């Protein structure tokens, strides 16, 4: 087989079954879902599928009025869809790296914009960060997951996890914060020095502070989101 031939290209890049189960990383940036039933996924993340599937956008009142109000306030930044059927579903999000976790009666918070997919067996709830709404473009809301099942989220480049321990809080930039353990609830603080140094409009003057015992996942990238007021217009 000659180098750079179409046959060689197909051999190097074609899909291969790895037998990893419900979620399978085809590449670090492409998720294969071996679907036989239902899965929740980020709206717009489907890049291909084969088999019999039906896609349904999340009903605005499906999870109660409280969730609907939160979604309206955040401009539906965490829009979800349900995929029902049987076959192989391929998901991706702007070429971001995909992380898969198998929750076993665990809980975790994930930034709404970084969520990719999860099994319907996991309980979830949108959490709105009211204190910084309107002040900060990123990190306006997140999703808390609890239970047992597979979940996939994304990060720009290579994420790292920082341990949080009592008396040793971790301070992060909300735009670089991807996820954190379900027992932690961050507080928000404004760094006046940074604000003066960077200018009044800089989001880096708003910081997330994590106290307690757990972990925080950060990425080497400050994601810029549409501001709440713009997304509601």
- Domain annotation covers residue 10: no
- Domain annotation covers residue 4: no
User: Which CATH number does the domain housing residue 185 bear?
Assistant: 3.60.160.10
- Domain annotation covers residue 117: yes
Counting the structural domains of the chain, the total is 1
- Domain annotation covers residue 9: no
Q: What is the pLDDT of residue 195?
A: 56
Q: Please report, to the nearest 10 degrees, the dihedral formed by the alpha carbons of residues 165, 169, 175, 181 taken in order.
A: 30
Its pTM surpasses 0.85? no
Q: What is the pLDDT of residue 141?
A: 74
Q: Is 1 exposed, middle or buried (0-12, 13-18, 19+ CB in 10 A)?
A: exposed
Q: What is the pLDDT of residue 14?
A: 87
Q: What is the mean pLDDT of each run of 10 residues along the chain (233 residues)?
A: 83 82 95 96 95 83 48 54 96 97 96 93 82 50 92 96 96 92 89 60 72 96 57 31
Q: What is the pLDDT of residue 138?
A: 43
- Domain annotation covers residue 1: no
CA atoms within 13 A on the CB side of 62: 13
Name the residue among 178, 156, 200 with its Cα closest to residue 28: 156
- Domain annotation covers residue 14: no
- Domain annotation covers residue 86: yes
Q: Could you list the residue range(s) of the whole structural domain that residue 54 is in?
A: 19-231
- Domain annotation covers residue 125: yes
């Amino acid at each position: 087989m000659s180098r750079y031939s179409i046959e060689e290209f197909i051999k190097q890049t074609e899909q291969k079954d790895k037998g990893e189960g419900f979620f399978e990383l085809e590449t670090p940036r492409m998720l294969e879902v071996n679907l036989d039933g239902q899965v929740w996924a980020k709206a717009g993340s489907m890049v291909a599928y084969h088999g019999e599937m039906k896609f349904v956008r999340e009903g605005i009142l499906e999870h109660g009025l409280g969730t609907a109000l939160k979604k309206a306030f955040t401009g539906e930044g965490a829009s979800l869809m349900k995929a029902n059927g049987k076959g192989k579903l391929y998901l991706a999000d702007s070429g971001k790296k995909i992380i898969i976790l198998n929750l076993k009666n665990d809980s975790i918070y994930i930034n709404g914009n970084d969520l990719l997919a999860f099994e319907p067996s996991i309980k979830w709830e949108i959490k709105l960060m009211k204190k910084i709404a309107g002040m900060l473009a990123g990190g306006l809301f997140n999703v808390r997951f609890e239970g047992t099942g597979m979940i996939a989220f994304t990060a720009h480049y290579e994420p790292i996890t920082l341990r949080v321990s009592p008396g040793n809080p971790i301070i992060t930039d909300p735009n670089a914060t991807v996820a954190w353990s379900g027992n932690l609830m961050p507080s928000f603080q404004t760094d006046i020095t940074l604000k003066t140094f960077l200018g009044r409009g800089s989001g880096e003057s708003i910081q997330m502070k994590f106290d307690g015992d757990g972990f925080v996942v950060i990425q080497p990238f400050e994601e810029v989101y549409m501001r709440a007021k713009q997304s509601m217009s």
